[in-house]
């Protein structure tokens, strides 16, 4: 299927690994020109280097960073058609999961909302004039199943993502008439570095369960989180949904939430 993305300009945040890297790779394969924003690059992102890819090293906790990334895309590639707000999760200095709501102080709550909500607000604010100038475009926000399935281990994260879902719905209502579609993709547990790195979440769970990280990801997580497909999600599976929503082939879809969670959410 031709997603009609050839020549279009996209900004992707959190682009150096995991879901963001998969989104960048897929957009490039579809012929898009991509500005990849992340604190630092990775060998995997460097391997995609070429005239259609620009990496911008930024810390999205810096209030000016989202606007700088958007302006760089416009300057380098002449405009903007797609914004993928993928960066999220624990901000620098914050570690998840927690054992209780009582573990997080005000500073950690503020940092979580800065990274997972306010950075998105700033990116959207910067991007909208350029999207509208081009006659419209697409914004895709990467949220989480925890936005609708609260967890005491990640309560501040879930609250920030719930706010992100609300933001996306409100934006879709206001800007659809001006050609800008806004949709949300909500992954479940994705097999990314947050889980797989040494000292990551899989190792934390493995220590508690008296097992190893591979057993945690292959068996413990799918069982305890009720993943009906029996496994964690691959980043590419989330990226496929993101890129489809970014594409003109989804021109009739706005204000929607696409769930890619392996059956994690059970509600209607």
Task: Quickly list H helices, the chain.
Answer: 18-29, 43-46, 65-77, 106-113, 119-133, 155-175, 193-196, 201-209, 213-215, 221-224, 235-246
Beta bridge partners of 211: none
> Largest alpha-carbon pair distance within the chain?
56
Please identify every residue annotated as catalytic: 157
- Binning the chain into helix, strand and coil, the percentages to the nearest 5 are 50, 15, 35
Name the phi and psi angles at 88, rounded to 5.
180, -175
Gap between the Cα atoms of 50 and 32, Å rounded: 12
Q: Provide the 3-class DSSP secondary structure of residue 265.
A: coil
Give burial (CB, 10 Å; 0-12/13-18/19+) of 126: buried
Beta bridge partners of 83: 11, 139
Task: Give the closest residue to 5 by CA, choosing from 43, 36, 35, 32.
Answer: 32
Name the phi and psi angles at 157, rounded to 5.
-65, -50
Q: How far is CA 240 from CA 116, 123, 141, 197, 227, in A?
A: 21, 22, 14, 24, 19
Q: Is the dihedral of CA 212, 214, 219, 224 positive or negative?
A: positive
């Amino acid at each position: 299927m031709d997603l009609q993305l050839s020549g279009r300009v996209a900004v992707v945040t959190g682009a150096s690994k995991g879901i963001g890297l998969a989104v960048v790779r897929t957009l490039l394969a579809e012929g898009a020109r991509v500005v990849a924003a992340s604190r630092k690059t990775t060998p995997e992102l460097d391997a995609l280097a070429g005239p259609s890819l620009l990496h911008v090293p930024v810390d999205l906790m810096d209030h000016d960073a989202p606007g700088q990334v958007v302006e760089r895309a416009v300057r380098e590639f002449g405009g903007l058609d797609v914004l993928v707000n993928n960066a999220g999760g624990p901000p620098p200095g914050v570690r998840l999961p927690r054992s209780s709501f009582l573990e997080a102080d005000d500073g950690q709550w503020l940092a979580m909302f800065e990274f997972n909500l306010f950075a998105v607000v700033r990116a959207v604010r910067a991007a909208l004039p350029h999207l509208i100038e081009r006659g419209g475009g697409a914004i895709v926000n990467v949220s989480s199943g925890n936005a609708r399935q609260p967890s005491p281990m990640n309560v501040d994260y879930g609250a920030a993502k719930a706010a992100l879902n609300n933001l996306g719905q409100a934006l879709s209502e206001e800007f659809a008439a001006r050609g800008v579609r806004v949709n949300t993709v909500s992954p479940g547990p994705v097999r990314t570095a947050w889980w797989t790195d040494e000292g990551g979440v899989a190792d934390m769970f493995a220590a508690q369960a008296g097992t190893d990280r591979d057993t945690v990801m292959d068996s413990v997580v799918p069982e305890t989180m009720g993943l009906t497909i029996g496994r964690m999600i691959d980043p590419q599976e989330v990226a496929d949904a993101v890129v489809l929503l970014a594409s003109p082939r989804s021109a009739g879809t706005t204000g929607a939430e696409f769930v890619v969670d392996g059956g994690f959410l059970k509600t209607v």
